[in-house]
Structure 1
Amino acid sequence: MAELVYRPVIGLALTMFKALDLKIDLKGSENIPRSGGAVLVSNHISYLDFIFNGLAARPQKRLVRFMAKESVFRNKISGPLMRGMKHIPVDRKQGEAAYDHALDSLRSGEIIGVFPEATISQSFTLKSFKSGAARLAQEAGVPLIPMAVWGTQRIWTKGQPRNFKRNHFPVTIRVGETMEAPRDEYAGAITRRLRERVGEVLELAQRAYPGRAKGPEDSWWLPAHLGGTAPTAAEARTA
């Protein structure tokens, strides 16, 4: 079926990134399968993460269908685009329908994008992971793809103003090797292993990141363990 919305949106996003002069560093896209279903799993630090996650699959000529909160689909601007790109709305009170939709898509050979933290991490460190990604991979018999983005929080994140100025921000994207989700293994154990793998890939992205804080007033986007002033995970939970 022709992608009448998704591919033009990708083109628009690339044009916007060029206008902002973003310095995108992508490595590991060869770890994304060229065919067949898979669950793409990423950290979540920005409202724009799904766009950069999707770009990671572009060299393999794959499109990613992301699971996103249902309210995004009700927005008069984003809603038609999300539906046109065949992303999957998630009603957190009734998640069964979204799970079944994602499972059907995986079995039909799609890549499904999941943010297992369920919400943006304001500490920019990994929160605990929900087990849905592991359970989907187990039930569909497809691999998990751990990946990470870094630098996207400087453009648009929770609790900070959007910054769509031409700041030449670097954005680092790393895709790790696929991991299996055996059906006979406890989903919680797979989820713990998956979180460790995403954490390792995130650390690689952070180490490769060329941007530095310009001073104390510009260190809000760096987590405390990297010398920044972002709230710790404990502080973020109580904010």
Structure 2
Amino acid sequence: MLYWLLKWVFLGPLLRVVFRPRVEGLANVPATGPVILASNHLSFSDSIFMPLIMRRKVTFVAKAEYFTGKGIKGWFMKAFFAGTGTIPVDRSGGRAARAALDTQLRVLRAGNIAGIYPEGTRSPDGRLYRGKTGVARLALESGAPVVPIAMLNTDDIQPTGKLMWKIRRVRINVGEPLEFSRYAGMAGDRYVERAITDQIMYRIMELSGREYVDVYAAKLKTAPTAAAPSETPAAPAAPPAPEITA
């Protein structure tokens, strides 16, 4: 109930008037059934604007600490994440990735939409980084199609490290669904999962027009010289999924 109140009565109408989202390809999101929305990640505001423009509820997972803060700020964050359909997950242990995956699988098996950022973290400089294979595992284990999404200018609306937002028109591109059911039963095969992930990231690159860097964004954040612009590899050709033979 809180989700729909925020989206259609309180926060949603205000954001639509102020930021006037312009979306290309929204009809590519299936009207029913399980769907994985895989997006690049430029800003905290991605998790606000992307669900806002969808006709169906989108569920993300977030670390449990967002739901346990103290004081007014803690209450506001808890209310916001709960109201936007975000599910808390304990990400402190070694099974954190599996816990997040299992949570999203439950969402998909209920016939709903799961949102995921394959890069695993926000881009530090606006470029598109190597995707983690959790998105492929999620697709293989659920059988759900993957809809690639490009957030185009949310890093301009809310630059990294800034609390204040700039008033700009939000722009989002939604691609056609990618379907991987022909690889059913191959979850856990790291070569298949890497190839599928690369296909998804290539499509997001096409939709976004952003430069691609074949390095994990988290690695760049801990080692800033890991992928300097002068060393950035050229964007790969569209990687085909591996052929499966009997």
Q: Tell me the percent identity.
A: 33
Q: Does 1:238 pair with 2:224?
A: yes
TM superposition shift of 1:48 = 0.8
1:201 matches 2:199: no
Contact 2:61–2:103 (8 Å) recurs in 1: no
Is 1:42 the counterpart of 2:39? The answer is: yes
Deviations 1:142-198 (A, max 9, x none): 10010011221223242234225xx4x121111000001232471111001110011
Whether the 8 Å CA contact 1:146–1:178 is kept in 2: the answer is yes
In the alignment, structure 1 residue 15 sits paired with structure 2 residue 13: yes
TM-score normalized with structure 2 length? 0.74
Q: CA deviation at 1:128?
A: 1.5
- Is the contact between residue 146 and residue 177 of structure 1 (CA under 8 Å) also seen in structure 2? yes
Residue aligning to 1:5: 2
Contact 1:38–1:106 at 8 Å: present in 2 too?
A: yes
Q: Which runs of 5+ in 2 are unaligned?
A: 69-73, 212-218, 226-246
- Which of structure 1's runs of 4+ aligned residues deviate more than 3 A? 90-93, 233-237
Hey, what's the Cα distance between the residues in 1 that align with 2:108 and 2:40? Answer: 21
Residues 1:122 and 2:124 are matched in the alignment: yes
Q: Amino acid of the residue matched to residue 42 of structure 1?
A: S
Structure-2 residue corresponding to 1:163: 165
- State the alpha-carbon separation in 2 of the partners of residues 63 and 149 from structure 1: 18
Aligned residues: 202
Q: State which of 195, 208, 211 in structure 2 corresponds to 1:189.
A: 195
Q: Report the Cα offset of residue 63 of structure 1.
A: 0.7
Unaligned runs of 5+ in 1: 207-222, 224-232
Q: Within 2, Cα distance between the matches of 1:40 and 1:18?
A: 21
Shifted more, 26-35 versus 182-191: the winner is: 182-191
What do you get for the CA RMSD once the two structures are aligned? Answer: 2.4
Q: 1:88 touches 1:98 (CA, 8 Å); kept in 2? A: no
For 1:96 and 1:80, how far apart are their aligned partners in 2? 25
Within 1, Cα distance between the matches of 2:220 and 2:155?
19
Give distance in 2, aligned partners of 1:71 and 1:33: 32
The normalised TM-score by structure 1 is 0.76
